């Protein structure tokens, strides 16, 4: 039976997704924060140094190139590579991975900027490749609606291939000549060399097209997995597909999201979570659930399970407006738990990742268990409150994982590529 | 004419890369130059704003974010052009830089970039030229004004993080169509500082003076005194600076500081593209030794204040609000069947019976 990679080669990957004051919407209400705290360098420097103290692989930044209502939760107030540069300036080993959409960027400009930033950070940069499905974004770029899913993924594939060709050309000195469906250019980057050759690529997008792109080009995958059996299935799917495309299983790391609320006892963790949730209007979680179901969740009976006919509505992959990957795993999770709608609202986390509310021991058990049973190569951790829960995670959870022999006790390398064990793409093949 | 004589530094190519590299000798030389107290601002990535645009290129915003602590009082401008770079993305990066430097950030822009392939903008299909740059600057400024900083209240009593009534879409309809708002609150200094690197004074001066805080003339260019008076009268908040190449071998680096005064300009921007450690070191030595190197910039908390630039803004009150009505609005209405809300319920998952 295939399972997790042998422990001791790479080890467990732990990234932390830096989500402003915290993953929970009310996180700013339970900490002593200044209204403009998220806009200060000091806030981000502290998070970076704490993550590095905890020997985490990298910090991660999502992106949303559009306004989002800062009530109840302010999020994504900075362009992510700018704040990634701030984190890198305050650290020496920590990786920095940031998201940029292939739908609303230009491949030459992005390749040039990311190569420059990679060299500046000493080879610690990663790019999380996404396409944009949020309807809030297109109007900022003069477009009435986002391209449909098949178009977005064709553009993404061509975009990434072109960026990689440009990065390879910077190393070999050969100009890139590209005439494709979406892009036409002939040129060459002039950028300083990076100790890791070129940025690491992550991919986030759990649709079939997203998984195909991941298997082909990604060094790491930010998956959304709400159930372990689903996670193992997708783990094998992507790894097998990568091998079929000429890569090795260990070349693509599967890193699902995991949202944590940590307490020194289970009761304390539950109380902290309940306190966070009661400060936020119910409409927020209802809105998130409505989004994934495609119906107004407030019309459902709160004390009964989600009606089967709502779950059975098929999603047209070309036009489903949010994440197909999330929808798939959410349906798996609903089938496993058979909760009332009220229970679903409390426990599904609402915001795109599995929720775990518990003690450091319970959290370490969960992380180690998924890792050893072949459901993940690591996790993209989301924390209820920043900086408080990052400090707790570093001080309480990391030592448990170290003691169990699955997580490093020191950084053995300085580049993100060396840390992940990701091979450099062969310039002869790419260009 | 303003009293302050501005001294700016334009670092491009190898010089920009080296200065931003942690622990570098070039960085230390810049810090030493900064300690003379004379430096108004540093612009990074300026190789792309004029001439052949050759590198090597760093990421100007990233480099400024990384290097700004070298000269804590100065301003930091990141170079940007509209070539293959959409103004929504440029606006976000610039305002992030501005916040991360505590209100000392901005952009140095030019119409073209000879180092990037092609000059047709992929978003508008238009040729990159000063007219397109004017539209870009208007978009940038509108976006920078779309979310007022003082809307952030973090009021725990009401659960309101920001008072959203004054956050506005921009609905810009020029060559660029941009809805807005920006997802970044506005600058402590009102707007980031904007410097326009002029390539062709004959063609661009009016547009540059109208759009920018700082108009930077190419090295060796001169502007007729009457023309300059006209421009100043029309745009009293704008400052006019001249580029000057600072080579490592310059026997008298301070000579460059005199030229703008002779032309009734407001200061000089010294341009360095390589051997930064030497060039900046010599300049630092010369400034430290000089008894009269001109008036020093005011000690100030923002770049705009340091350079004596007026605060400016754009009134967007006639544009549509981004969040209609109540600050906590925009969420679906909750029915009466939710007494206590979903958070009041605990399921068997919490009792520990989790099925994998």
Mean of all residue pLDDT scores within chain A: 91
Kindly tell me if the per-residue pLDDT of A48 is higher than 90. Answer: yes
Say how many C-beta atoms besides its own lie within 10 A of residue A55's C-beta: 18
Q: Each residue of A73-107: pLDDT tens digit?
A: 899 999 999 999 999 999 999 999 999 999 999 99
Kindly tell me if the per-residue pLDDT of A3 is higher than 70. Answer: no
**A186 touches A177 (CB < 8 A):** yes
Phi–psi pair at B309, nearest 5 degrees: -90, 140
Phi–psi pair at B156, nearest 5 degrees: -70, -30
Mean pLDDT, residues A201-229 taken together: 92
Using CB atoms, which residue from B89, B99, B342 is nearest to A342?
B342
Mean pLDDT, residues A312-335 taken together: 73
Q: Each residue of B125-134: pLDDT tens digit?
A: 999 999 999 9
**A220 touches A125 (CB < 8 A):** no
- Which pLDDT score, from 0 to 100, does residue B327 have? 63
| Contact criterion met (CB < 8 Å) for A40 and B181 | no
**127-186 of B, contacting A, C-beta below 8 A:** 146-147, 149, 152-154, 156, 159-162, 164, 167, 176-185
- Whether this prediction's pTM lies above 0.90 is answered by yes
**A404 touches A178 (CB < 8 A):** no
ipTM: 0.93
Using CB atoms, which residue from B56, B161, B341 is nearest to A70?
B161
- Which pLDDT score, from 0 to 100, does residue B328 have? 59
Kindly tell me if the per-residue pLDDT of A25 is higher than 90. Answer: no
For chains A and B, what is the number of CB pairs under 8 angstroms?
262
Q: Decide if B336 touches A, using CB distance below 8 A.
A: no
Query: CB-hemisphere CA count at 13 Å for A343?
Result: 17
Q: Which residue has the tokens 């009964």?
A: A304
Kindly tell me if the per-residue pLDDT of B104 is higher than 50. Answer: yes
Q: Phi-psi bin for A392: left (phi > 0), alpha (psi -120 to 50), beta?
A: alpha
Look at B340 and A158; give whichever has higher pLDDT. Answer: A158
Q: Sign of the CA dihedral A127, A368, A325, A138?
A: negative
Mean pLDDT, residues B96-124 taken together: 96
Q: Each residue of B19-50: pLDDT tens digit?
A: 999 999 999 999 999 999 999 999 999 999 99
Mean pLDDT, residues A19-48 taken together: 93
- Which pLDDT score, from 0 to 100, does residue B330 have? 44
Q: Decide if B298 touches A, using CB distance below 8 A.
A: no
Q: Which of B124, B345, B351 should we substitute to test contact with A (largest number of A Cβ atoms within 10 Å)? A: B345
- Which pLDDT score, from 0 to 100, does residue B293 have? 57
Q: Is A390 helix (H, G, I), strand (E, B) or coil?
A: helix
Kindly tell me if the per-residue pLDDT of B274 is higher than 50. Answer: yes
| Contact criterion met (CB < 8 Å) for B185 and A286 | no
The confidence band for A419, taking pLDDT boundaries of 50, 70 and 90, is: very high
Q: What distance in Å separates the CA atoms of residue A262 and residue A269, rounded to the nearest whole number? A: 5
DSSP conformation letters of A396-408: IIHHHHHHTTSS-
Distance from CA of A366 to the nearest CA of B (A): 10
Mean pLDDT highest for which of A185-189, B156-160, B328-332? A185-189
Say how many C-beta atoms besides its own lie within 10 A of residue A136's C-beta: 15
The confidence band for A150, taking pLDDT boundaries of 50, 70 and 90, is: very high
Kindly tell me if the per-residue pLDDT of B189 is higher than 70. Answer: yes
Kindly tell me if the per-residue pLDDT of A430 is higher than 70. Answer: no
Distance from CA of A178 to the nearest CA of B (A): 11
**B104 touches B68 (CB < 8 A):** yes
Mean pLDDT highest for which of A303-317, A327-341, B36-50, B246-260? B36-50
| Contact criterion met (CB < 8 Å) for B334 and A282 | yes
Pick the range with the lowest mean pLDDT from A36-45, A385-394, B90-99, B334-343: B334-343
């Amino acid at each position: 039976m295939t399972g997790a990679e042998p422990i001791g080669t790479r080890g467990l990957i732990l990234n932390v997704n830096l989500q402003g004051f915290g993953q929970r919407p009310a996180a700013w209400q339970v900490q002593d924060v200044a209204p403009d705290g998220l806009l200060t360098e000091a806030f981000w420097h502290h998070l970076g140094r704490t993550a590095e103290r905890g020997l985490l692989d990298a910090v991660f930044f999502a992106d949303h190139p559009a306004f989002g209502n800062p009530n109840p939760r302010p999020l994504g107030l900075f362009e992510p590579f700018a704040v990634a540069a701030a984190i890198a300036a305050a650290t020496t080993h920590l990786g920095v991975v940031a998201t940029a959409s292939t739908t609303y960027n230009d491949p030459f400009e992005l390749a040039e900027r990311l190569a420059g930033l990679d060299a500046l950070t000493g080879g610690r940069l990663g790019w999380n490749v996404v396409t944009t499905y949020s309807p809030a974004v297109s109007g900022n770029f003069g477009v009435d609606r986002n391209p449909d899913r098949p178009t977005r993924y064709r553009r993404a594939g061509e975009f990434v291939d072109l960026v990689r060709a440009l990065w390879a050309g910077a190393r070999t000195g050969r100009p890139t000549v590209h005439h494709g469906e979406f892009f036409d250019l002939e040129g060459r980057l002039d950028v300083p060399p990076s100790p890791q050759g070129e940025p690491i690529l992550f991919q986030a997008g759990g649709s079939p097209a997203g998984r195909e792109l991941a298997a082909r080009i990604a060094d790491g995958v930010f998956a959304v997995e709400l159930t372990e059996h689903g996670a193992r299935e997708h783990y094998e799917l992507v790894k097998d597909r990568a091998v079929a495309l000429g890569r090795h299983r260990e070349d693509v790391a599967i890193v699902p999201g995991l949202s944590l609320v940590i307490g020194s006892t289970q009761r304390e963790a539950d109380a902290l979570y309940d306190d966070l949730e009661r400060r936020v209007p119910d409409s927020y979680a209802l809105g998130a659930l409505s989004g994934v179901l495609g119906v107004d969740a407030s019309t459902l009976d709160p004390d009964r399970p989600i009606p089967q006919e709502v779950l059975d509505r098929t999603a047209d992959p070309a036009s489903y407006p949010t994440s197909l990957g999330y929808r798939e795993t959410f349906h798996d999770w609903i089938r496993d738990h058979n909760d009332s709608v009220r229970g679903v609202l409390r426990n599904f986390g609402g915001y795109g990742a599995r929720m775990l509310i518990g003690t450091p021991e319970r959290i370490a058990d969960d992380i180690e268990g998924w890792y050893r049973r072949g459901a993940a190569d690591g996790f993209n951790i989301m924390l209820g409150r920043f900086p408080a829960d990052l400090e707790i995670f570093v001080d309480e959870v990391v030592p448990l994982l170290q003691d169990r022999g699955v997580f490093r006790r020191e950084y053995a390398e300085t580049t993100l590529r060396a840390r992940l064990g990701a091979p450099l793409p062969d310039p002869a093949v790419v260009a | 004419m303003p009293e302050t004589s501005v001294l700016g530094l334009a670092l491009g190519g190898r010089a920009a890369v080296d200065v931003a590299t942690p622990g570098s000798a070039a960085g230390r030389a810049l810090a030493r130059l900064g300690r003379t107290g004379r430096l108004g601002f540093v612009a990074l990535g300026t190789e792309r704003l004029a001439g052949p645009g050759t590198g090597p290129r760093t990421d100007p915003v990233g480099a400024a974010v990384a290097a700004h602590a070298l000269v804590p009082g100065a301003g930091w401008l990141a170079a940007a052009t509209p070539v293959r770079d959409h103004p929504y993305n440029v606006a976000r990066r610039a305002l992030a830089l501005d916040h991360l430097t505590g209100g000392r950030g901005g952009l140095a822009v030019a119409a073209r970039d000879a180092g990037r392939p092609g000059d047709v903008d992929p978003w508008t299909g238009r040729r990159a030229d000063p007219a397109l740059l004017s539209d870009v600057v208007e978009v940038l400024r509108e976006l920078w004004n779309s979310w007022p900083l003082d809307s952030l209240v973090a009021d725990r009593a009401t659960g309101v993080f920001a008072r959203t009534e004054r956050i506005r879409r921009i609905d810009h309809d020029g060559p660029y169509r941009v809805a807005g708002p920006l997802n970044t609150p506005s600058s402590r200094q009102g707007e980031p500082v904007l410097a326009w690197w002029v390539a062709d004074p004959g063609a661009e001066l009016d547009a540059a003076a109208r759009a920018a805080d700082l108009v930077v003339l190419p090295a060796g260019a001169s502007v007729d005194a009457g023309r300059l008076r006209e421009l100043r009268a029309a745009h009293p908040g704008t400052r006019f600076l001249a580029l000057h190449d600072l080579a490592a071998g310059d026997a008298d680096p301070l000579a460059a500081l005199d030229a703008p005064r002779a032309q009734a300009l407001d200061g000089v921007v010294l341009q360095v593209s390589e051997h930064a450690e030497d060039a900046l070191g010599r300049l630092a030595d010369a400034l430290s030794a000089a008894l009269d190197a001109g008036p020093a910039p005011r000690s100030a908390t923002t770049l705009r204040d340091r350079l004596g630039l007026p605060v400016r803004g754009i009134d967007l009150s006639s544009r549509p609000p981004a969040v209609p009505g109540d600050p906590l609005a925009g969420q679906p209405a909750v029915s009466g069947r939710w007494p206590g809300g979903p958070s009041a319920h605990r399921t068997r998952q919490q009792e520990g019976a989790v099925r994998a």
